[in-house]
């Protein structure tokens, strides 16, 4: 692995972000909208007669951590899509760049975007609703790490699908998260979901990561069992995503799909 090549890719995406203000939407406007929406909902529910004060923490804590998944996934998958939009894939494929170096470079710059996006959500929660996410404790760090890995693994699936199906699959970069979010119990425990989808929810590592977060918010300490299941789940997910991506990349080369972008 060449650090020079990883750095070059990260630098290329830094230029893109700097020169495309509309791409700041994901890390500025969207986090503010989310924190306003879910924070206000939390305040409303907790102040309603019979409402639970916990709903407030669940919603704000949930949206802060959801943005870890969202920002990491979007940064990596749209980083790759940028190469297809600017028809830069062939340029990259004829260099010594390895697939892992490319992903590392985009993910590296993605960490900067993630820090900005999640930082803004956390600041919004503090500024608008006096919810300080750091009060939850250091237990949030391993949970966030699991969610970061989930975001990257989902992005690898999206990239694989774009390689296979072309630009028609681009919508998945955003759309797939709308499928994962409700099933992951980001704001509520799994029993709140309809019975038919609960088995699917339990298979997702995100579900267990958010359960661990709620345990922290409830003052019960870090639920290591939930975190362990989430970590194991993300390993399986990442392995599956990597194998799928390798197969789709091989198909891309075999079928000559590069001609779609050259």
Partner 1 sequence: MEHVIRATGLTKTFHDTRAVDGVDLTVEAGQRVALLGPNGAGKTTTLFMLLGVIAPDAGHVEIAGLRLPEQRSEAMERVGFAAGYMPLAERLRVREFLDLYGGLYGLADPSERIDVGLERFGIAHLANVMGNELSSGQRTLVGIIKATLHRPRLLVLDEPTASLDPDVAQRVRQGLLDLCEVEGTTLLVTSHNMVEVARLCDRVVFMSAGRIVADGSPAEVADLFGQEDLEDVFLHLAGNARDAARTQETDHA
Binding positions for partner 1, rule: CB under 8 A: 2, 4-5, 7-9, 11-12, 15-16, 19-20, 85-88, 90-98, 250, 253-256, 258, 262
> Smaller CB distance to partner 1: residue 40 or 167?
167
- Identify the residue whose tokens are 């599956």: 240
The CA dihedral of 93, 115, 72, 145, to the nearest 10 degrees, is 120
User: CB of residue 262 vs partner 1: minimum separation in angstroms?
Assistant: 6
Question: Structure tokens of 139?
Answer: 């237990």
User: CB of residue 4 vs partner 1: minimum separation in angstroms?
Assistant: 5
User: CB of residue 104 vs partner 1: minimum separation in angstroms?
Assistant: 13
Among candidate residues 137, 173, 154, the one with its CA nearest the CA of residue 57: 137
C-beta separation of 5 from 106 below 8 A: no
Question: Structure tokens of 249?
Answer: 């990349």
> Smaller CB distance to partner 1: residue 121 or 160?
160
> Smaller CB distance to partner 1: residue 89 or 148?
89
User: CB of residue 91 vs partner 1: minimum separation in angstroms?
Assistant: 6
User: CB of residue 261 vs partner 1: minimum separation in angstroms?
Assistant: 10
Q: How far apart are CA 154 and CA 146, in angstroms?
A: 12
C-beta separation of 162 from 80 below 8 A: yes
> Smaller CB distance to partner 1: residue 8 or 46?
8
Rounded (10°) angle between helices 140-165 and 99-129:
130
> Smaller CB distance to partner 1: residue 81 or 209?
81
């Amino acid at each position: 692995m060449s650090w020079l090549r990883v750095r070059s890719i990260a630098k290329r995406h830094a230029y893109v972000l700097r020169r495309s203000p509309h791409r700041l939407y994901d890390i500025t406007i969207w986090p503010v909208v989310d924190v306003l929406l879910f924070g206000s909902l939390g305040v409303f529910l907790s102040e309603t007669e019979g409402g639970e004060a916990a709903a407030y923490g669940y919603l704000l804590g949930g949206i802060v951590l959801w943005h870890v998944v969202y920002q990491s996934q979007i940064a990596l998958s749209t980083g790759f899509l940028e190469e297809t939009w600017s028809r830069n894939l062939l340029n990259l494929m004829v260099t010594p760049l390895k697939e892992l170096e490319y992903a590392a470079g985009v993910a590296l710059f993605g960490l900067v975007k993630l820090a900005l996006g999640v930082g803004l959500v956390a600041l919004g929660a503090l500024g608008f609703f006096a919810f300080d996410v750091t009060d939850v404790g250091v237990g949030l760090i391993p949970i966030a790490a699991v969610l970061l890995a989930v975001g990257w693994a989902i992005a690898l699936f999206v990239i694989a699908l774009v390689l296979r199906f072309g630009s028609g699959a681009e919508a998945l970069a955003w759309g797939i998260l709308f499928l994962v979010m409700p099933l992951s119990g980001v704001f509520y425990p799994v029993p709140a979901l309809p019975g038919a989808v609960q088995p699917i929810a339990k298979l997702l590592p995100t579900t267990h990561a958010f359960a661990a977060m709620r345990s922290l918010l409830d003052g019960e300490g870090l639920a290591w069992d939930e975190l362990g299941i989430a970590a194991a789940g993300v390993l399986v997910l990442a392995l599956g995503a990597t194998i799928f991506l390798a197969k789709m990349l091989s198909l891309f080369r075999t079928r000559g799909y590069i001609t779609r972008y050259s």
